[in-house]
Amino acid sequence: MAPFELATPGSLQQAIGLLDPEDPDIRPVGGGTAVMLMMKAGVLRPTRLVSLRGIEPVYSQVSIGTNGELQIGGLTRLATLEHSHLVKEGWPLLTRTLRTLSNVRVRNVATIGGNLGHADPHMDLPPVLTALGARVTVTGPQGERTFPVEQLCTGYYETVLARDELISRVIVPPQANRPAAYMKVTTRAAHDWPALGVAVVLDMQGEQIRTANVIVGAATDKPTRLSGAEAVLKGAVPDDAMLRRAGEAGAAELDIVGDPHGSASYKKHLLTVYLGRAVRIALDASARKDHA
C-alpha cells in the first residue's frame, strides 16, 4: 500500500478546506468501510485521506425537527439509526431495512453520509430513502444546498457531489401511517449484496392506493423510480392480477443490468414477482399495526 497523508480536522469547514475539487486522490473518510476495501483492492491509491471522525458532534446526531421530519447528521453511524427509538417509532421502514444491511460490524462504523455518497447501486438505503421522499443537505466551500436523495446518484459509483462537498445532513419526512416495505433478493444470507431491491411506500385512502412510490435498486446502475408501476398502482384496490400487472409494468420500463449477482433476465423476472410481494408486505404490516 502506497504511503498517504491522514488529516484529522476538528470541524466540518476544516475538513472541506482539506479537500480538493480537482484532485480525485484526496478523499474524505467517515467509517472507512468502502475506502479501505478500495485501497486493499488497489482501486484507490489516495495521497490524502481526510478523517471526519473529529468534527462537531452535531453531525453524528439524530433528532426530530419542528415540522416532524427526521434529521440525521451525515456522520451518524448506521448502528445508531438501527437502535434509535425515534427511528423505530416514526420510521419503522428504516429500522427494518437496517437490521439486514450488510452486517453488524459494518453498521457499527459505517455512516449514512458515506453510505449514500459511495453510490454503490446495490446499497439498501438509497432506494428506501428515495421512496420515503428524503432529502440530503450537502456542504461545500460555497455553503449548503439541499435536494432530494433521488437526485443524488447519477450512475454506477457516481453522484452530483463535487470533490470538496460533504453530505452534512439527511432529512426524512414523517412516514406517518403510510404502509411501506423494502424487499431484497439475495442468493445467500439476508445481509449479502442483493440481486434486486424494491422499496414501496403507499398513500392509502381506505382500501384504495391513492399514490405509490416504487423504487428499485441493485438491478440498475442507480436507484430508479418505476413510474409505470406507480401508474398501475395509483387508484387501485390491490388484488393478485393488479399486482402482477404492476410488476410486469415495472420490468418492462426498466433497463436492467446483469452482474455477478444475477443476469438481466433473472432480475427482470424477480421484479415481476417481488414488486407485488413488497406491496402485500407493506399492507399486511400496516393492517397488523392498526389492529394491535
If you average pLDDT over residues 48-61, what whole number do you get?
96
Closest of 181, 170, 154, 157 to residue 27, by C-alpha:
157
- Answer whether residue 36 shows pLDDT above 90: no
Give this prediction's pTM: 0.93
Per-residue pLDDT band for 16 (boundaries 50, 70, 90) equals very high
Residue pLDDT, tens place only, 234-244: 999 999 999 99
Residue 8, all three cell numbers = 484529522
Contact 78, 107 (CB under 8 A): yes
Mean pLDDT of the region 39-59: 91
Inform me whether the pLDDT recorded for 55 exceeds 60: yes
pLDDT of the residue at 288: 72
pLDDT band of residue 189 (cuts 50, 70, 90) is low
HEC readout, the chain: CCCCEEECCCCHHHHHHHCCCCCCCEEEECCCHHHHHHHHCCCCCCCEEEECCCCCHHHHCEEECCCCCEEEECCCEHHHHHCCHHHHHHCHHHHHHHCCCCCHHHHCCCEHHHHHHHCCCCCCHHHHHHHCCCEEEEEECCEEEEEEHHHCEEECCEECCCCCCEEEEEEECCCCCCCEEEEEECCCCCCCCCCEEEEEEEEEECCEEEEEEEEEECCCCCCEECHHHHHHHCCCCCCHHHHHHHHHHHHHHCCCCCECCECHHHHHHHHHHHHHHHHHHHHHHHHHHHCC
Other C-beta atoms closer than 10 Å to the C-beta of 180 total 25
Sheet of strand 180-185, all strands in order from the earlier edge strand to the far edge: 180-185, 196-205, 208-217, 224-225
pLDDT score at 260: 83
Judged by average pLDDT, the poorest of 78-87, 191-200, 227-236 is 191-200
Whole-Å CA distances, 196 to 25, 70, 273, 284:
32, 27, 11, 21
Q: Looking at residue 261, what is its pLDDT? A: 80
Q: Does residue 141 have a pLDDT over 90?
A: yes
pLDDT value, residue 291: 42
Q: Of 277 and 43, which is predicted with more confidence?
A: 277
Supply the mean pLDDT for the chain: 93
Give the fold, CATH level 3, of 180-290. Answer: Enolase-like; domain 1 (3.30.390)
In this prediction, residue 109 carries a pLDDT of 93
Q: What is the mean pLDDT of residues 227-233?
A: 98
Higher pLDDT, 40 or 202: 202
Contacts of 166 (CB under 8 A, 6+ apart): 12, 15, 16, 19, 28, 52, 74, 113, 117, 138, 139, 140
Q: Taking residues 261-290, what's their average pLDDT?
A: 89
- What does the pLDDT read at residue 252? 94
Hey, what CATH topology would domain 59-172 get? Answer: 3.30.465
In 3D, which of 78, 43, 36 has the Cα closest to residue 191? 78
In the chain, % of residues over pLDDT 90: 78
pLDDT at 292: 42
Query: What average pLDDT does this structure show over 12-24?
Result: 96
Burial class (CB in 10 A: 0-12, 13-18, 19+), 22: exposed
Torsion of the alpha carbons at 26, 31, 36 and 37, rounded to the nearest 10:
-120
Q: What is the pLDDT of residue 290?
A: 56
Per the model's pLDDT, the better-predicted residue between 24 and 188 turns out to be: 24
pLDDT bucket at 190, cuts 50 / 70 / 90? low
Domain ranges of the chain: 5-49, 59-172, 180-290
